[in-house]
Amino acid sequence: MKIFNLSMECYPVAKVGGLADVVGALPKYLNKIDGVEASVVMPWYNRPFVHEHEFEVVFQGWIHQSYHTYEVTVMKERSKALGFDLYLVKIPGLLDRDNPYGYWDESQQFLAFQHGVLHWLSAMKILPDVLHCHDYHTGLVPFMIQNCPEFEFLKDVKTIGTIHNGEYQGQMRWDMVQYFPWFRGEQSGLLDWDGWINPLAAMLKCSHAFNAVSKGYLEELFHSLRGLEPLVRQEYAKAYGIINGIDTEVWDPETDAFLDFNFGKENALDGKWRNKKELCEEYGLNANLPLVSFIGRFAGEKGADLLPDIVWKSIQQTYGGLNIIILGSGEKQVEQQLIDLQPIYSNFALDLGYKEYLSHKIYASSDFLLMPSRVEPCGLNQMYAMRYGTVPIVRYTGGLRDTVADISTGGSGLNFGSATADDAVHAIHRALHIYHDQGLMNNLVHSNMNFDFSWEKSAEQYMALYSV
């Protein structure tokens, strides 16, 4: 079975969030299954990975959008360094930039990527069994191969859509239709939702099947999908929930090159302590206190706006009885509020931006990881944390409720109900009681490390979806 994963991100080529981690791992594990050939197709970015690896040009052609003509170059990484074939699509002026997102002409970028990919496959008579479209950025592909005569060659290819985060849908005005490959006007209803071209809606309508990245998140989509709830209910027969895995070859405390001290289950307590001491010394924290961490984007869906209140309330209410370290960036107001707290509380550390190496160190060093998310389709951070023996403190939502059970119900984590600072702080208080019960804390470290979040099981579920 030949599978092409279409995505704007893929770790380690270009990463903004969890989408990159999923796309960078899933095909690698699919390729371990007999008879499967999984690849990734993504835009070309001006990133170190691209310049540090050797690529060969496998296709050059042209696409026409409105009054524009664009050159399309497809390059293939020669060494299969990621465990799968990696194809980069370069279109000068659109797909040749530093970052995946944040440009004024994003809609045109994403359209050009999808158009370019389908033009390449059609021109070269490459017929995959499955086109796996990740998030709305590639959500127009199922529509295009069914309704654009230019891609008649691909009309029988199975399309699978994955909703990594339904908060983003890519709506665009109808004047953008001029950039589409030609299609019959009577098919335009497949693109429309509430008077806008909506790529995510088009993906749900036109794909052979779609999935959310956890069963819990799929259930939520029937009631909360920013206006698409009726569509999900209408298309429920082809809706599935598949929890993401994590790449246990990358996220392995025994071999992780980013850690100061590697450790396994047998020496986890000592290993975590040594890493914690090192990290606390670097950031001026007291290693003898429990360490609570947050890693992620400062966005409303992540509950990041709650962090300033959580920091000062938890420190004050415990009389300075814990350390908090935060790694992330995003909303400028949140960043500034956290910066303002730094000189006030000596047991609070902040590192703005995203540093892959530092995230690994924090997972290995922390006693607890906080995730106060309002929306969390799957969540990978809690799985990384558990892999490194860190106890997750999570809001009971989406994929978090699928992966983290509260200690009161026999689980190895802590849940709280509402996305409020007070609920999160209450959960932190519970965590500190656990921390001071050494036997219980030690058991939680080991039980979390025993969870299996590897991709093998999820890859088998995706194979079943491809065969539906």
Q: Which long-range contacts (CB under 8 A, 24 or more apart) does 428-433 make?
A: 428/292, 428/310, 428/314, 428/318, 428/322, 428/368, 428/370, 428/393, 429/314, 429/317, 429/318, 431/290, 431/292, 431/367, 431/368, 431/391, 431/393, 432/290, 432/318, 432/321, 432/322
pLDDT at 184: 93
Residues 291, 241 share a domain: no
Residues 181, 310 share a domain: no
Average pLDDT, the chain: 96
Residue with tokens 């409720």: 401
Determine the Cα–Cα distance for residues 175 and 196; give it in Å rounded to an integer: 10
Any domain includes 261: no
Any domain includes 252: no
Query: CA-CA distances (angstroms) from residue 305 to 288, 309, 338?
Result: 28, 8, 10
Residues 440, 344 share a domain: yes
Any domain includes 254: no
Residues 274, 210 share a domain: no
pLDDT at 6: 98
Give the dihedral of Cα atoms 461, 468, 113, 52; nearest 10 deg.
Answer: 30
Question: pLDDT tens digits, residue range 5-27?
Answer: 999 999 999 999 889 999 999 99
Question: pLDDT tens digits, residue range 142-154?
Answer: 999 999 999 999 9
Residues 146, 241 share a domain: yes
Average pLDDT rounded to a whole number, residues 115-144: 98
Any domain includes 359: yes
What is the band of 468 on the pLDDT scale with cuts at 50, 70, 90? confident
Residues 324, 236 share a domain: no
Residues 290, 192 share a domain: no
Cis, peptide link before residue 230, omega less than 30° from 0? no
- The yes-or-no verdict on residue 354 having pLDDT over 90 is no
Question: pLDDT tens digits, residue range 85-106?
Answer: 999 999 999 999 999 999 999 9
What is the band of 357 on the pLDDT scale with cuts at 50, 70, 90? very high
Question: pLDDT tens digits, residue range 210-264?
Answer: 999 999 999 999 999 999 999 999 999 999 999 999 999 999 999 999 999 999 9
pLDDT at 77: 98
Average pLDDT rounded to a whole number, residues 262-280: 98
Domain that holds residue 45: 2-247+456-466
Tell me how many domains the chain contains. 2
Residues 328, 210 share a domain: no
Any domain includes 302: yes
CATH code of the domain containing 18: 3.40.50.2000
Determine the Cα–Cα distance for residues 317 and 338; give it in Å rounded to an integer: 18
Q: Pairing state of beta strands 192-193 and 196-197?
A: antiparallel
Question: pLDDT tens digits, residue range 27-65?
Answer: 999 999 999 999 999 999 999 999 999 999 999 999 999
Global pTM reads 0.90
pLDDT at 199: 98
Residues 49, 83 share a domain: yes
Residues 241, 312 share a domain: no
Any domain includes 258: no
pLDDT at 80: 96
pLDDT at 17: 85
Question: pLDDT tens digits, residue range 280-336?
Answer: 999 999 999 999 999 999 999 999 999 999 999 999 999 999 999 999 999 999 999
Any domain includes 31: yes
Any domain includes 51: yes
Residues 191, 79 share a domain: yes
Question: pLDDT tens digits, residue range 393-427?
Answer: 999 999 999 999 999 999 999 999 999 999 999 99
pLDDT at 44: 98
Residues 209, 187 share a domain: yes
